[in-house]
Amino acid sequence: MTATRPQPRPGVLDIAPYIPGKSTAPGVAKMFKLSSNETPLGPGENAIAAYRAAGERLEDYPDGSASALREAIGGAFGLDPARIVCGAGSDDLLNLIARAYLTDGDEAIHTTHGFLVYPIATMGTGAMPVVAPEKDFTADVDAILARVTKKTKIVFLANPNNPTGTYLPFDEVKRLQRSLPGNVLLVLDAAYAEYVRRNDYESGIELVATTDNVVMTRTFSKIYGLAALRLGWMYGPAHVVDAVNRIRGPFNVNAPAIAAGIAAIRDTAHVERSREHNTRWLAWLTEEIGGHGLTVTPSVANFVLIHFPETKGRTAKDADVFLTKRGLVLRQVGAYKLPNALRMTVGSEEANRLVVKALAEFLGKRA
């Protein structure tokens, strides 16, 4: 039968759409949004000033290659700007990578609780996502390698991972790269790298610099506080950068985002304040919530994954309802195959203390 209206390519309607964390709590006077891993400190003053100044020239197209921003990123990390690509958030770059390297019948691997954009980007090209099981909510190199076939073209690895907050030590990431066929692209999604304080962690810069099949993606949405502007960047081998640049939009990063990004990455004092705040309250939340009998997956990012029992009235969904009524909005993570958990962003001191107190009340304990 002839179709009576345009039809999407096969597989598109099989893609589960990405659903962001909720951002409202109806009927509540004051709300604390702790569902999207946004920094409680917001952007720095320099970034805000640069954004406002760019608003005076909205009639002009932005620099299509974001050259000044790439120079600033290169200067901050000691990288060759020619090997950097900027995009409208790191998810834009993940989709561009998938479009450049996947086609019908290919496979791309991600882990059980990996970022939901990976299967979306994969299926959007006609390729098939392959799930590698995790161990203790952490990526398992051996499980990933066991799923590599001749059809495998990409391995997506979030390090640290969202929503678990776990990470792979650099030695394990290097072992993964060494064991992959040379034609398989290892994509290291390091959106939360700035928060990590572990001596055995490396974001991926070294591997990109020394191999031909690794790329690293980063974002300005987290510690830099520019989530509203949708700004990310990728560092990769010259041949990968060339391929991605051929298919990205000519003006895929807007001028206010470029200006704010340059100011943000140079404002090291603001970044350090944000990091210190996170380090303090991440440890506090883990200890306090764990003290109430709930399991918290050890995290190195700016959020914690809280596990709830399956007991009626004490489930993650019950807790979510209870907290939302008090203006405390966390993230349900059922779509990440974690139906008995909630993810909580490290918030302001007020928000953090309110959540711990509310959880104590929810569990029937004295705050």
195 and 76 in a single domain? The answer is yes
Q: Which of these three, 223, 250, 267, is where a domain ends?
A: 267
96 and 129 in a single domain? The answer is yes
The reported pLDDT for the residue numbered 5 is 87
241 and 131 in a single domain? The answer is yes
The reported pLDDT for the residue numbered 28 is 79
165 and 78 in a single domain? The answer is yes
Query: Residues near 178 by Cβ (< 8 Å), separated by ≥ 6?
Result: none
Identify which of 191, 15, 19, 8 has the alpha carbon closest to the alpha carbon of residue 120.
15
282 and 214 in a single domain? The answer is no
The reported pLDDT for the residue numbered 365 is 63
262 and 310 in a single domain? The answer is no
Instruction: Report H helices in 152-227.
Output: 170-179, 205-210
195 and 239 in a single domain? The answer is yes
Q: Is residue 123 in some structural domain?
A: yes
Q: Which of these three, 267, 294, 325, is where a domain ends?
A: 267
Instruction: Count the domains in the chain.
Output: 2
State which amino acid sits at residue 164.
T
Per-residue pLDDT 10s for the chain (367 aa) are 677 887 888 888 887 777 777 767 777 779 999 999 999 999 999 999 999 999 999 999 999 999 999 999 999 999 999 999 999 999 999 999 999 999 999 999 999 999 999 999 999 999 999 999 999 999 999 999 999 999 999 999 999 999 999 999 999 999 999 999 999 999 999 999 999 999 999 999 999 999 999 999 999 999 999 999 999 999 999 999 999 999 999 999 999 999 999 999 999 999 999 999 999 999 999 999 999 999 999 999 999 999 999 988 899 999 999 999 999 999 999 999 999 999 999 999 999 999 999 999 999 864 4
258 and 292 in a single domain? The answer is no
The reported pLDDT for the residue numbered 179 is 98
275 and 342 in a single domain? The answer is yes
Cross-strand partners of 109: 130, 155
Q: Is residue 3 in some structural domain?
A: no
Range of the domain at 16: 12-42+269-362
Q: Which of these three, 215, 247, 267, is where a domain ends?
A: 267
Residue 71 carries which DSSP code?
Answer: H
Q: Going along 184-339, which residue ranges are E strands?
A: 185-189, 214-219, 232-235, 295-297, 303-307, 328-329, 331-332
Q: Is residue 1 in some structural domain?
A: no
Model pTM score: 0.94
The per-residue pLDDT for range 134-191, each reduced to its tens digit, is 999 999 999 999 999 999 999 999 999 999 999 999 999 999 999 999 999 999 999 9
Containing 342, the helix (H) or strand (E) segment is strand 341-345
Structure tokens at 356: 């711990």
247 and 350 in a single domain? The answer is no
188 and 298 in a single domain? The answer is no
Please answer whether residues 122 and 102 qualify as being in contact, where contact means their C-beta atoms are separated by less than 8 angstroms.
yes
Ramachandran assignment for 344, one of left (phi > 0), alpha (psi -120 to 50 degrees), beta (any other): beta
C-alpha pair distances (Å), 5 with each of 8, 40, 124, 206: 10, 46, 20, 50
β-strand 328-329 against 32-33: which pairing, if any?
parallel
